[in-house]
Structure 1
Amino acid sequence: MRTLNRALLSTLAVLAAAPLAAQTEQVAVNAAPQADPPAAQADTTAPRRTGSVLAPAAMAPVPVVVGSPAAGAIGEFEPARQSGEFTGLQLQIGGAFAQTWQALDHETAAAPAPGTMLGDIRPGFNLASANLNIGAQLARGIRVDLENYMASRHHNEFWVKGGYATIDASPFNVPVLNRIMQYTTIRAGHMELNYGDAHFRRSDNGNTIRNPFSENYVLDAFTTEIGAEVMVRAPFGGFVMGGVTSGENKGDIKEGAVNASPAFLGKVGFDRRFSDLLRVRLTGSVYSAESSPSVTLYGGDRTGSRYWGVMEDTVSLKAGAAFTNGRVNPGFANEITARQINPYVEIGSLELFGVMEWASGKSAKEAERREVNQIAGDAVYRLFNDALYVGARYNRVTGDFAGQTDLTVTRRAVSAGWFLTRNLLTKAEYVQQEYDGFAATDIRNGGKFHGLAIEGVIAF
């Protein structure tokens, strides 16, 4: 990883040092003229023959576009297909930055004991988070993306989120393949899973501009795995997707006590804008892993939540050990079946988004599977040509967690945001969260937290 980081930083240094010609939408990297090389012995390694796909590329300037599709856009779910005319290799660089100030209070009814006494927290700034996305359009309809975190709660150093290729057009000029790829998108690599629609609206480290609120849902379905997805889109707005992954969020070849079998995911949906005043989207998703050494669907985010220190004991707070404050992980570490239904409607300036989720699974030490359910609803109203918005969210998770049953976590939040530009957002959220049914020895017994979070976001 250190070698990869050095290579990335060296690449960025070279790009930064290259002379740039500024344009409104595109920056062209112009290679400075070089002197003729000194005389040397003849090179006996001949280049590939002319016309070969492995022949050296022409030494032409590579255009650099500021802004990456990996950052996403407001109201966008699956990225749009990119199968237009190819004019040459193109490099895309995008990034995101977020800084949060919070004033949150918390309380617990748990019996005082080591591990159940809340740490003292005060208003203040959290560690800033940042993302860096590097993409390249390699051919017509073929691109590659490398997504990176430059600072986060769990890793404050530069590290790679994932890298993957997207194919929207056939690399071979065969009529039947061209016809198939007219409606088909293939993604393959180490990538964020397209399970549910909530992951398109979540805060992803520094990239929080698509989230109308500060934090994600209590049950946060997000992970990265190695695999492939194939999506077929119909002209009328329908689509279907199927995929297979390793079932783990990192590569591993060690034999262990739990068998490693592939995980499967699927999605079917409809997304259509009927007019400027009405857009309707409805999707259903499933993710299933029969046996995996480490299922991370509800614990795959290594960047952390936006609520620092809440419901955290004094020892953990001092050590900075916790990083998912406010979320719950049901602990389905080895077996899981999860389903999510997401309705989304735009009626004029009003956006309505919902989450209905059912999941069951267990760890290797458990004999029986447990169940956890989640419901959530967002209402967001945008004003003044989408420059301002106000929103409200209700989120409730119920079910059986490891060692405890009949638990409930409820969150209510209201928010407001101001887009100074389409890439610059300031937002504020007031949140209230409650925990019910937890054991007296659990710090979350009778737990509550509430308060304000204000965030500034830049994303491009």
Structure 2
Amino acid sequence: MKKVFKTSLIAAAICLSGNMMAQNVTFGNIQNQIKRDQRGINQFDVKKDSVEFKGISIDLGGAFNMDFQAINSFNDQPTNFPAPSDITGYRLMNQENNFNLPSADMAIGAQLFDGVRVNLDVYLSSRHHNETYVKGGYLQIDKLDFIKKDFMADLMKYTTIKIGQMENNFGDAHFRASDNGNTIKNAFVGNNIMNSFTTEMGMEVYYNRSGLVSMLGITNGNLNQGTNEVTFTPGPDKQTTVSPSILAKLGYDKQINQDLRVRLTGSYYHNANLGNANIYSANRSGFGYWGVLNNSAYTNNGVAVPANYNAKSTPEATFNPAFGNWATSYMINPFVKYKGLEFFGTVELASGGDKAGSDDKRTANQYAGELVYRFGQTEKFFLGAKYNTVSGKLSNADANEVSVNKVEASAGWFMTKNILAKLQYVSQNYNDYSQYVGTPASGNANNFYGGKFNGLVFEATIAF
């Protein structure tokens, strides 16, 4: 059986090789692609280039990282709860200074025709899944020559169309963020506290010309695709439909001179009837810091803690406004780069409803500023500082808003354009969270009550 399998494998390889040679298949000759390594830093949206089409070409790439984490978590919960909750021995999970589970991605693509390419993004290992699964795949069209040579060439010179299940383009912050194994473009380890990220089935149309940046997109509003009837909530107000998500971006991006580049964009997102996730709950790869403000793994003298210890705690400890009915978000992103010094900002104003049948409006606002100085030959070194704050109600029933703020400081070294090592200090604080989830009688301790974590993370990342 082994001999037959080996013979069949060799025969298949010979046939595949012959078929590729017959079609004049090349490798890496891909048009209009943002580089996955250091060269892709500060490249937003889509980019036209002058790569010549020479037949079908295959693209294969990857990205992965390893983190050594030395972080401690704290909160204001007493070690022994008083009656009536009757919880004893409460404490947060112990954390060692050690390596986290590495994350890895793979990108597979092909240039299929002049101005037409396909891309498939795969999470090989992530916090959400131990097994490999597909992040998304899309078709990118930069020319319509497959219809007729030079068909609408004057328009397509500045236009790009993307169709498929893909990372949807809301705002500019996600272009500088970490995404599972792909962390080389992030000068820091963490992402924004309220992280807007989703992958939905849809289409985006870009028109970029002479500094003008514009995009209009629409998706079906679902993170997980399916045709089942939607019944999110029981009763007369049950939600039985999912509305499309509308995306838009408008801005200006110009290299003023050799030293100065200026970019300013405004982005819009809206969904009238949310699907199985909102834009702040769709990230499956975490936010950079593992196990913080979590006590699910702690045991007291060998006795497992009760299940309700983990109430209101998430493995990522991010801020998710948990909009359950409708959501609207605006994001403004200024970016200025003068020589090696760059500033990137985020102003994000989000609003939404709690659940189907309830349109009461609540808001969550986020502000972030990054200052990064890149120096050395090919800007191989950098120093960075970031401040991020977010505030809002977690539900309409809450009496008060809560807030979270974070300070990050980092230093990095690009050993090559594909290999980056960075060291970061982080301090994140949670303010005005209640001591319990629900009433004290419920006994559900809120891990974010007076919560904070701080420490160091060393990250090594490779992308190609």
| Residue of structure 2 equivalent to 1:96 | 63
User: Whole-Å Cα distance in 2 between the matches of residues 262 and 131 of structure 1?
Assistant: 29
User: Whole-Å Cα distance in 2 between the matches of residues 268 and 316 of structure 1?
Assistant: 48
Contact 1:116-1:443 within 8 A present in 2 as well: no
Question: Match of 2:294, SS?
Answer: coil
Choose the corresponding residue for 1:87, options 54, 60, 73: 54
Question: Match of 2:119, SS?
Answer: strand
In the TM superposition, 1:252-291 aligns within 5 A as: 252-257=226-231, 258=239, 259-291=241-273
Choose the corresponding residue for 1:341, options 313, 320, 332: 332
Shift of 1:256: 2.1
| Residue of structure 1 equivalent to 2:234 | none
Shift of 1:61: 4.1
Shift of 1:424: 0.1
Tell me whether 364-373 or 450-459 shows the greater mean CA deviation. 364-373
User: Whole-Å Cα distance in 2 between the matches of residues 115 and 369 of structure 1?
Assistant: 39
Give the letter aligned to residue 224 of structure 1: T
Contact 2:92-2:298 within 8 A present in 1 as well: no
| Residue of structure 2 equivalent to 1:308 | 290
Tell me whether 330-339 or 171-180 shows the greater mean CA deviation. 171-180
| Residue of structure 2 equivalent to 1:158 | 132
Alignment gaps of 5+ in structure 2? 1-8, 82-86, 232-238, 437-445
| Residue of structure 2 equivalent to 1:31 | 17
Match status 1:450 vs 2:454: yes
Shift of 1:31: 3.1
Question: CA separation of 1:70/1:162 partners in 2, compared to 1, >3 Å: closer, same or farther?
Answer: farther
Match status 1:211 vs 2:206: no
Question: Match of 1:180, SS?
Answer: helix
TM-score computed with the length of structure 2 as normaliser = 0.83
TM-score computed with the length of structure 1 as normaliser = 0.84
Match status 1:198 vs 2:190: no
| Residue of structure 2 equivalent to 1:421 | 416
Shift of 1:71: 2.9
User: Whole-Å Cα distance in 1 between the matches of residues 278 and 183 of structure 2?
Assistant: 21
Contact 1:115-1:314 within 8 A present in 2 as well: no
User: Whole-Å Cα distance in 1 between the matches of residues 414 and 20 of structure 2?
Assistant: 42
Shift of 1:78: 1.6
User: Whole-Å Cα distance in 1 between the matches of residues 338 and 55 of structure 2?
Assistant: 40
User: Whole-Å Cα distance in 1 between the matches of residues 177 and 60 of structure 2?
Assistant: 21
User: Whole-Å Cα distance in 2 between the matches of residues 114 and 325 of structure 1?
Assistant: 25
Shift of 1:30: 9.4
Shift of 1:449: 0.5
Give the letter aligned to residue 446 of structure 1: G
Query: What is the aligned-residue RMSD (CA, Å)?
Result: 2.8
What fraction of aligned residue pairs are identical, expressed as a percent?
39
Shift of 1:428: 0.7
User: Whole-Å Cα distance in 1 between the matches of residues 351 and 327 of structure 2?
Assistant: 6
Contact 1:295-1:336 within 8 A present in 2 as well: no
Shift of 1:175: 5.3
Contact 2:118-2:140 within 8 A present in 1 as well: yes
Alignment gaps of 5+ in structure 1? 1-13, 20-28, 33-55
User: Whole-Å Cα distance in 1 between the matches of residues 43 and 101 of structure 2?
Assistant: 28
The count of aligned residue pairs is: 414
Match status 1:184 vs 2:179: no
User: Whole-Å Cα distance in 1 between the matches of residues 419 and 270 of structure 2?
Assistant: 38
Contact 2:23-2:56 within 8 A present in 1 as well: no
Question: Match of 1:314, SS?
Answer: coil
User: Whole-Å Cα distance in 1 between the matches of residues 102 and 52 of structure 2?
Assistant: 39
Shift of 1:226: 0.2
Shift of 1:269: 1.1
User: Whole-Å Cα distance in 2 between the matches of residues 70 and 419 of structure 1?
Assistant: 15
In the TM superposition, 1:62-81 aligns within 5 A as: 62-65=25-28, 69=34, 71=36, 73-81=40-48
